[in-house]
Amino acid sequence: MLAIAAAVVFGIYLLLDLLDTDLGAPDLFNFPTMASIGFLLLSLYLAGVGTGTRSRSWSGRRSGRS
């Protein structure tokens, strides 16, 4: 999910760059800001944040007790 969000951020920046606009907010839609957001989302994705539930395998017995 975070990788998709990063792709969306990079895609929006690419469109803004190709259309040569900053939507009236030059400090918000500049390369360092958009790259930082995209790289943050990618690093969170690679770290495993937001990947969903973890599956644990329990054998039914704990510590040898029945």
pLDDT at 39: 92
16, two tokens: 């803004």
CA distance 32 to 60: 51
Question: Per-domain residue ranges for the chain?
Answer: 2-47
The DSSP result for 5-42, as a single string, is HHHHHHHHHHHHHHTT--TT-TTTSSHHHHHHHHHHHH
Residue 65: per-residue pLDDT: 61
Q: pLDDT tens digits for the chain (66 residues)?
A: 888 889 999 998 889 888 888 888 888 878 888 899 999 999 988 888 877 766 666 555 566 565
**Residue 3, both tokens:** 């990788």
**Using CA of residue 20, residue 26, residue 28, residue 30, what is the dihedral sign?**
positive
pLDDT of residue 1: 81
Specify the length of the chain in residues.
Answer: 66
